[in-house]
Amino acid sequence: MVLKTDLSVKQKEYLTAIKMSGDALIVLINDILDLAKVDAGKMTFEQTPFKMASSISAMLHLFETKIMEKNLLLIKEYDNKIPEVLVGDPVRLHQIILNLVSNAVKFTVNGEITVRVCLLNEDDEKANIEFSVIDTGIGISEDKIDRIFENFEQASSGTSRLYGGTGLGLAIVKQLVKAQGGNISVKSKIDKGSTFSFILSFQKTKGKAELETGIEEMDTEIKNIKVLVVEDMALNQLLMKTLLDDFGFERDIATNGKIAIEKLETKSYDIILMDLQMPEMNGFEATEYIRNKMNSKIPIIALTADVTTVDLAKCKAAGMNDYIAKPVDERVLYNKIVGLVKKPMPLIYREREINKSNYSKKQKCTDLKYLTSRTKSDPSLMMEMISLYLEQTPPLIAAMKQSLKDKDWNLLHAAVHKMIPSFSIMGISPDFENMAKQVKEYAFTQQQTDGVLYLVLQLEDICEQACMELEEEFNTIKNAN
């Protein structure tokens, strides 16, 4: 949260280092805990109906920032013959793919990373699916390939020094795949890249997915949500307050389940964020009381620090709708709240509403405050940045429209991906950045593509308007200097 405030360059540098260290420790601790569970034979696997396409798509969203930073291309190839709902453990599947994609991102300097999901075969009861993560990275030498799945093992002694990591990721991946009756293999060439593939079997079902794992884009129109946070730790309370304030949601805090019930008796809320471990009345007891004694169907999301052993069955039995692991990811939190409280309006109407009420052609769509601050008001640098925008945007618009016409989803994804950073740089409303992200999502999943045309036309309009405005700004700066 401190990183979001105004900081000096040096402060930002130190805080970023602290955050990176914290993130690295979380990964390390989770890996060690998982390893200990595997060794003790305590690794359990859920059998939950889930939508594989949206589940994988939501998980790959997590890599967007890192992929953008490294200027890589992330491609998803998904076999549409795969049944929509399958029974398995989506959390463990995420963990396997997360580890493999994390490695691919870490060891790829330029090029692309492809996540491929193919149906190998199926019968009336089950479907065998092959998952592949293909990169154009540094590769692994032939004599090291057999050892990389061992605990604390990396391809060379310099790997940890150059790229970081403990050498636990692939060991855990192998154990998770093996424990589910699958197998994993790797093909690699030095400086050409690597392909990690694993095959898992999933039960087929006619039931519905229990939890929707797809990610909604942040909709800035959604504000009037009242949240009750039930949490006893002061630091966690502060974090939740700050996040919910950022979302523009109303919020109250209760330090335990008993106080939460008292608040519910006097005030109405749209959703509850419920910590599980609290004094006096814990999250499970409070949820059971709310469901059975108060007969309330208010959505309840469990907050748990037990990342590796979260008991989903116990949460569901108590009547909770979903859970979020601590440390809380703000994007996941936002989407789970919005997903449970307000299903968004049909896409086309929402975008029309935005277009009609907020962004008429007469209204200026660019704001150069950020650019002025970024360039320290240096006119030549500002002109250079504007010039680059004017140069790169028309070809991207053309590529976006052509790829939609040709239904070339990979090209559409790539064109919109390159367009997104320029919205914030040129001060274009975040609503349009969110539209672009929705287009990316549709191109990614290749589902619900009917609404894409309208979004692409909106993006074309706003980018063309931005080009006209920025051309004027360019001439103004040029004449003034």
Higher per-residue confidence, 144 vs 174: 174
Q: For residues 153 and 148, what is the distance between their CA atoms, to the nearest angstrom?
A: 6
Q: Please check whether residue 214 is in contact with residue 57, taking contact to mean a CB–CB distance below 8 angstroms.
A: yes
Give the mean model confidence (pLDDT) for residues 331-351: 63
Q: What would the two tokens of residue 328 be?
A: 């809380």
Q: Please check whether residue 300 is in contact with residue 261, taking contact to mean a CB–CB distance below 8 angstroms.
A: no
Q: How far is CA 248 from the centre of its chain?
A: 20
Q: What are phi and psi of 81, to 5 degrees?
A: -80, -10
- At residue 151 the predicted structure's pLDDT band, cuts being 50, 70 and 90, is low
Report which of 35, 51, 52, 54 is spatially closest to residue 43, judged by C-alpha positions. 35
Ranges 251-255, 354-358, 379-383: which has the least confidence: 354-358
Higher per-residue confidence, 15 vs 305: 15
pLDDT tens digit sequence for 83-130: 999 999 888 898 899 889 988 998 898 899 999 999 999 998 999 999
pLDDT over 60 (residue 67): yes
Give the mean model confidence (pLDDT) for residues 14-32: 77
- At residue 357 the predicted structure's pLDDT band, cuts being 50, 70 and 90, is very low
pLDDT over 50 (residue 309): no
Token pair 């057999």: residue: 146
The pLDDT value given to residue 89: 87
The pLDDT value given to residue 167: 59
Whether the model pTM is above 0.75:
no
Sign of torsion, CA 67 243 439 323? positive
Sign of torsion, CA 260 265 268 270? positive
Side chain identity at residue 357, one-letter code: S
Q: Please check whether residue 231 is in contact with residue 149, taking contact to mean a CB–CB distance below 8 angstroms.
A: no
- At residue 312 the predicted structure's pLDDT band, cuts being 50, 70 and 90, is low
Give the mean model confidence (pLDDT) for residues 457-472: 89
Ranges 123-127, 307-311, 401-405, 454-458: which has the least confidence: 307-311
* Angle formed by the axes of helices 430-445 and 52-60, nearest 10°: 130
Judged on CB neighbours under 10 Å (0-12, 13-18, 19+), 214 is middle
Share of the chain above pLDDT 90, in %: 25
pLDDT tens digit sequence for 226-237: 999 999 888 888
SS3 labels along the chain: CHHHCCCCHHHHHHHHHHHHHHHHHHHHHHHHHHHHHHHCCCCCCCCEEEEHHHHHHHHHHHHHHHHHHCCCEEEEEECCCCCCEEEECHHHHHHHHHHHHHHHHHHCCCCEEEEEEEEEEECCCEEEEEEEEEECCCCCCCCCHHHCCCCCCCCCCCHHHHHCCCCCHHHHHHHHHHHCCCEEEEEEECCCEEEEEEEEEEEECCCCCCCCCCCCCCCCCCCCCEEEEECCCHHHHHHHHHHHHHHCCEEEEECCHHHHHHHHHHCCCCEEEEECCCCCCCHHHHHHHHHHCCCCCCCEEEEECCCCCCCHHHHHHHCCCEEEECCCCHHHHHHHHHHHHCCCCCHHHHHHHHHHHHCCCCCCCCCCHHHHHHCCCCHHHHHHHHHHHHHHHHHHHHHHHHHHHHCCHHHHHHHHHHHHHHHHHCCCCHHHHHHHHHHHHHHHHCCCHHHHHHHHHHHHHHHHHHHHHHHHHHHHHHHHC
Question: How far is the CA of 331 from the CAs of 49, 64, 302, in angstroms?
Answer: 24, 12, 16
pLDDT over 90 (residue 163): no
The pLDDT value given to residue 136: 93
Token pair 């609290």: residue: 278
The pLDDT value given to residue 308: 45
